[in-house]
Amino acid sequence: MRLSLLFLLFLSFSGLPARSVRAQAFEPGFIVRASGDTLRGEVENGFWVAPPTFIRFRPTATSPTELLRPYQLRAVSLTGGRYFRYEALPIDHAAVTQVQDLIEGNVYDIKTDSLLAEVLLTGPVELRRVVQLTTVHYLLQRPGQPWLSLSERQYLRRSATGRLQITDGNNYHAQLELYFGDCPAAVAAARTTPFTAAGLAAVAQTYAASCAAGAGPVRSWLTLAKPRRQLAFQGGVLAGVRYHLLESSAYALVGERTDGRLHPFGGFYAELLQPNRTTAIYGELTLTTFRNKGVVQDYNSTTGKYSSTPFSYQALLGTARIGIRYLAPLPHDQQLVLGLGFERNIVWQFTPPATTGNASARPGPEDRSALTYADPTLLPNLTLGWRRQRFTATIDGQLYASTEEGNWITNKFLGDNLAARLGLSYRLGRNPDRGR
């Protein structure tokens, strides 16, 4: 892949619309600790699809941020919408909808999980929503009864001809009719309701109105329980130092180490943040220098003989990288950065030695160092970093294949050459999840 093509991809990412990402990262709300203490302040809206695995909370806009795990909480609420409770709920782990996960037979595997479930209704009938991977689970509970677990599900069924067919195994209509069997109005509503939050809420509200008189009002969060955040783009500049440990690619110098020194580098980076904001597609373009050795092949027209002479050179190295980053949350608005990716290099401003005397000097045909930097191994480069607000400090490394003959598999995965970088990046523009 040419560097220019990657650059165009980089620019196309930068032009992506930041739709649905203007919401504040922190919104007014409250948390209830496991001890029962209720604290009001600001809660970071993670626009969660799956149950939150952490909650960031701060008493005021200028206070340090506290990172809380689900087991430390009883409830989390955003004033503008969405409400979560930490509860032990029966979740069917065998309920899947992805084709690659389907198995033959309608199998159930219900286990009790403790998690922050999204509250959709409270009152005479409680309704929760839990999304695991791509499967949506709804859980209903009426007074004096255990939780009813309803899940999207598909499975493989063998037809009369012996072929496997994808079959819908979600029998929620029958489950609802059985669960609300003593309430004719709720049973009638259950027979036609769709498998959606609004549909199941309508059945629950019918039961509350018709068969649970005096049990208290129903409170609904349905209109406020929709995640608003989608993809977001951010980018900036980066700079640092890069260490090259190379060997010449010239046939006559195989195995000879070159460079072994630090070089400054700089460039641009971009991140396409996923809705959960803990993963991102990452890309960068950088420019640095490097040193290496090549071989000049001389032809003496007087003697009719060839000779090879090594030479040293310095050139510019353009690098394009693309990969994935995981942004693990840390206290006080910080993040741990873990990444992996792949790179492509191109050499610029390589100048071969000038011709002298009656010698026709040129890089030898086997001198790949005149054309390329080094070939990355099949293993991706690895990144470890720390982020706070606009700044990100990282250290990363990339292995390169050896030019020496040896074990092909070992060379393609490990090699004998490497480059390590220590960098600092700065985000340009505002945080896409904030209005400033």
Domain extent listing, the chain: 81-224, 232-428
The least confident of 176-190, 214-228, 327-341 is 214-228
- Per-residue pLDDT, 371: 57
Q: Under 8 Å CB-to-CB from 79, ≥6 apart: which residues?
A: 27, 28, 29, 30
- Per-residue pLDDT, 364: 53
- Per-residue pLDDT, 4: 41
Residue 298 pLDDT > 90? no
pLDDT: which is higher, 349 or 357: 349
- Cβ atoms within 10 Å, residue 340: 15
pLDDT: which is higher, 135 or 353: 135
pLDDT: which is higher, 93 or 311: 93
Residue among 226, 212, 182, 229 nearest 21 (CA): 229
Question: Distance between alpha carbon 156 and the CA centroid of its chain, in Å?
Answer: 31
The answer to whether 73 and 54 are in contact (CB under 8 A) is no
- Please state the rounded mean pLDDT for residues 175-198: 94
- Please state the rounded mean pLDDT for residues 206-210: 91
Rounded distance between C-alpha atoms, residue 280 and residue 312, angstroms: 40
The answer to whether 68 and 88 are in contact (CB under 8 A) is no
The string of DSSP codes covering 210-275 is HH-TTS---EE-GGG-------EEEEEEEEEEEEEEEE--SGGGTT-EEEEEEEEEEEEEEEEE-T
- Per-residue pLDDT, 254: 63
- Please state the rounded mean pLDDT for residues 298-313: 73
Rounded distance between C-alpha atoms, residue 61 and residue 89, angstroms: 34
- The fold of the 232-428 domain, in CATH, is Porin (2.40.160)
Q: Which long-range contacts (CB under 8 A, 24 or more apart) does 251-259 make?
A: 251/295, 251/364, 251/366, 251/367, 252/295, 252/308, 252/310, 252/364, 253/293, 253/294, 253/295, 253/310, 254/403, 254/404, 255/403, 255/404, 256/293, 258/291, 258/292, 258/293, 258/312, 259/290, 259/291, 259/292
Residue 182 pLDDT > 70? yes
List pLDDT tens digits, range 84-139: 999 999 999 988 888 888 888 888 889 999 999 999 999 999 999 999 888 999 99
Residue 306 tokens read as 């060839």
Distances (CA, A) of 331 to 67, 88, 126: 5, 26, 33
The least confident of 43-57, 76-90, 119-133 is 43-57
Range list of H helices, 26-171: none
Mean predicted lDDT score pLDDT of the chain: 83
pLDDT: which is higher, 386 or 244: 386
Rounded distance between C-alpha atoms, residue 383 and residue 394, angstroms: 7
Residue 3 pLDDT > 50? no
Residue 19 pLDDT > 60? no
